[in-house]
Amino acid sequence: MINNALDIRPYQARLARYGRAQLRDFLQLPAAERLRDCLEREVRWEPAQRSDRPPLIPQEMATGEQADALRLREAQARARAGFEFLFDRYRMIDAHQEGRDPGLLLHVVVDFLNSAPFLEFARALTGEQGIRGVSAIAARYRPGHFLRLHNDKASDEDRAFAYVINLGRGWQADWGGQLQFVDDSGDVTETMIPHWNSMSLFRVPQQHLVTPVARWAGDHRYSITGWFRRA
């Protein structure tokens, strides 16, 4: 599934120096195309928001354009008070463990990411020999979707690196949806555009965000994202 021509040495050096890198042409092209097709046509998406701030949307209008617009307005209002996010997701690990959606390609992806060859690749790439597993969700950012500043540190999971396999087509800088890193002074130190078939990778914890996707974006920001875990 990984591009056989990928030379990881420049990325190893960059990860060691800066703690983050973006690998271009990450997957074999047929694999990237098939995975993108799955995300676009076969996944049953659900809204992802802060679980401790439930949306005030009546059950009878939980789906549809009107619900989407209301959900976005509510998320934007809550974001003024602190950390918030809104995008569409598919919980790949949960679905795999529960046997949901049999035959869905994403189940094969979960097995691949947690296979011995991929884990060895992850250890070689990052230099982190303690990596023991990979978590994953599918994500779709539509216009207005965003992820406010946070650092990915978790109390219930030992995360070594975060990754994002980007599968939006022809992404342009002014479409938004950019992964940005922020220093202690509040300045943006690096921006990663979600280029087609790239993997953005960074050591945890680091302050970062995803900028809102613009209304004129020519595609949705599709991805597979998660963490390389030590335990």
Per-residue pLDDT reduced to its tens digit, 46-99: 999 986 555 555 544 556 788 899 899 999 999 999 999 999 999 999 999 999
Question: What would the CATH number be for the domain defined by 9-229?
Answer: 2.60.120.620
Residue 131 token pair: 């990596």
Here the tokens at position 18 are 């800066």
Is the preceding peptide bond at 30 cis, omega within 30 degrees of 0?
no
String of b and e for 177-210 (b: at least 16 CB within 10 Å)?
bbbebbeeeeeeeeebbbbbbbbbbbbbebebbb
Question: Rounded to whole angstroms, how far apart are CA atoms 43 and 179?
Answer: 23
Tracing tokens 């959606």 back to the chain, one arrives at 101
Helix/strand/coil for 106 = helix
Question: Within the chain, which residues score under 70 in pLDDT?
Answer: 51-63
3-state secondary structure of 24: coil
Residues 203-215 have pLDDT tens digits of: 999 999 999 999 9
pTM: 0.94
- DSSP helix/strand/coil, 18: helix
H or E segment and range at residue 41: helix 29-41
Average pLDDT, the chain: 94
